[in-house]
Amino acid sequence: MAELIVSVSGVRGIIGDSLTAHTALDFGRALGEFLLQQVDSGTPAVPLRVAIGRDSRTSGPMIAQALAAGLLAVGVSVIDLGISATPTVALMGRFLKTNASVVITASHNPPEYNGLKFLRSDGIGFPGQSVGNIHQIFLSKHFRAAGIDSIGHFSTDSRAHAHHVQTVLQFFDTRAIAQHRYRVVVDSINGAGCIATPMLLGKLSVELIHQNGASTGQFAHTPEPVKENLGALCDEVLRHKAAVGFAQDPDADRLAIVDEQGNYIGEEYTLALAVYARLLAKPGIVVTNLSTSRMVDDIATRFSSQVIRTPVGEANVAAKMLEVGAVIGGEGNGGVIDLRVGPVRDSFMGMATVLDLLARTGHTISELVRELPRYTMIKTKFPSTTAQARLLVDRVRDTFKSEKLDTQDGVRIDWPHGWVHVRPSNTEPIARVIAEAKDEPTARELIARVEKLRS
């Protein structure tokens, strides 16, 4: 049986194996119990509510309904948002003033996976300790059972997509973007982004060529928005002479970009361009994780702005952004976080920000990329238990103890010519080794220095 992965990113497993309807039912009961325990016993009982949304995976209805049943069974009401992007669910949780939200998604994982992503009332992901507490309640099976007078109430809400689009667009000069009549190709992977994407781009008078634009959950290719999976998008951008191509992942929180020449420019450039665009308007603190490119630091230096780094995981980035009042942040996997909309990665905010940057500068995507510092990043991974990954981290830390180290999340070693980051994955039974340098041979040499410590 495959391992059910529980981390700061939530719960993730394989349908019919480590993640079943019964698993979701008990996690619903556990979340409900956790929330009820937060209510001060000295105050009158208050009705608790949780919003649930899901990406388009075919297992989604089963998991969502089981989760809802668990919440209802302990006395917590449920608002079902249907197929919704992760940032949409986070936004609606705040809008509806729920006590928490849950997104049924496995992000970029293959279709046999699904998962539960727990969000607080403010839309930020639950911290690791809270997820751990929910997991412990799940394991203990100590749930209360509501009687007929106290079971939760089930309802639906259909306003999610329109509300998200309206919230994003209020921060842009939509007329200035619309007058360019940009032609844009978007690959929504038949995921949760299929519904709001044409709504958003339609408001910006974009001519949309929508690839895989039906939210069927039948992924047309491997869902992670990386170069090897986006050849068709690159071809379509070139064929249609589009200004830009965008690729979303199944829950539409990540965004990858293809330039007007049909070149995949890499997910790292999504955040870099967003940081550039935001700091042009408002210099300030930028927050990103330890695995994100130094491009962000270089761009921030141009605007006399500070970069703060956190452990990997959007909850970690968002929490630090809220703490320091960051103007922009995110992760180098194509995740843009703008607190004006919400404390989660948001592909819709990313698309609007890039189109706004094109309109304000008059440059093409390839011209903007040429203005940015260029690095080579190599990302490798290999199967590993958590214990094995931690052993590798210890060996790397001990081997390079005289270098500049950051041990917030695994270990990152920084040199003037590059850096390497080694860490256990939060979402898969693997270890990740990421290196970046000015050229590929140097980056590969940094990777090799770490990988020889595996044995």
Per the DSSP assignment, residues forming a β-bridge with 256 are 247
Residue 355 DSSP SS3: helix
Q: Which H or E run contains 358?
A: helix 347-361
Neighbour-count burial for 294-320, b at 16+ CB within 10 Å, e otherwise: bbbbbbbeebebebbbbbbbbbbbbbb
Q: How many Å from the N-terminal Cα to the C-terminal Cα in the chain?
A: 26
272 to 199, 335, 422: CA distances (angstroms): 25, 10, 22
- Tokens of residue 168, six digits: 């994003």
Q: Which H or E run contains 398?
A: helix 386-399
From 107, 291, 384, 425, active-site residue = 107
Nearest to 292 by CA among 307, 277, 276: 307
- Nearest 10 degrees: Cα torsion 392, 398, 403, 407: 60
- Tokens of residue 125, six digits: 């992901």
Nearest to 28 by CA among 96, 75, 89: 75
Residue type, 381: K
Residue 2 to residue 17: CA distance in whole angstroms? 6
107 is catalytic: yes
Give me the active site residues, please: 107
